[in-house]
Amino acid sequence: MKPTWEQDDVQLYLGDCLEVLPALGSVDAVVTDPPYGEQTHAGARTTTGTFGPGAYLDNPNIVTNEIEFESVDAGFIRKALGLTRPKRWVITTIDWRHCLPLESDPPTGLEFIRFGIWEKPRYCPQFTGDRPATGWEAIAILHPPGKKKWNGGGKRAVWSASNEHGSQHPAAKPVRLIVQLVKQFTDGGETVLDPFMGSGTTGVACVKTGRKFIGIEIDPGYFEIAVKRISEAQMQPRLL
pTM above 0.75, yes or no: yes
How far is the C-alpha of 184 from the C-alpha of 85, rounded, in Å? 20
Residue 80 confidence (pLDDT): 97
Mean pLDDT by 10 residues, the chain (240 residues): 96 98 98 76 47 44 50 90 98 93 96 96 80 91 97 97 71 90 98 97 98 97 96 90
Residue 92 confidence (pLDDT): 97
How far is the C-alpha of 52 from the C-alpha of 184, rounded, in Å? 34
Domain with residues 5-35+72-123+132-234, CATH architecture: 3-Layer(aba) Sandwich (3.40)
CB 204 within 8 A of CB 236: no
Residue 79 confidence (pLDDT): 96
Distance of CA 30 to the CA centre of its chain: 10
Residue 71 confidence (pLDDT): 66
Residue 68 confidence (pLDDT): 54
Map out the domains of the chain as residue ranges: 5-35+72-123+132-234
Question: Collapsing DSSP states into helix, strand and coil, what is residue 212?
Answer: strand
Written as one string, the DSSP assignment of 81-134 is HTTS-BSS-EEEEE-GGGHHHHHHSPPTT-EEEEEEEEE-TTPPP-TTSSS---
Measure the CA dihedral 53/54/57/59, to 10°: -90
CB 113 within 8 A of CB 150: no
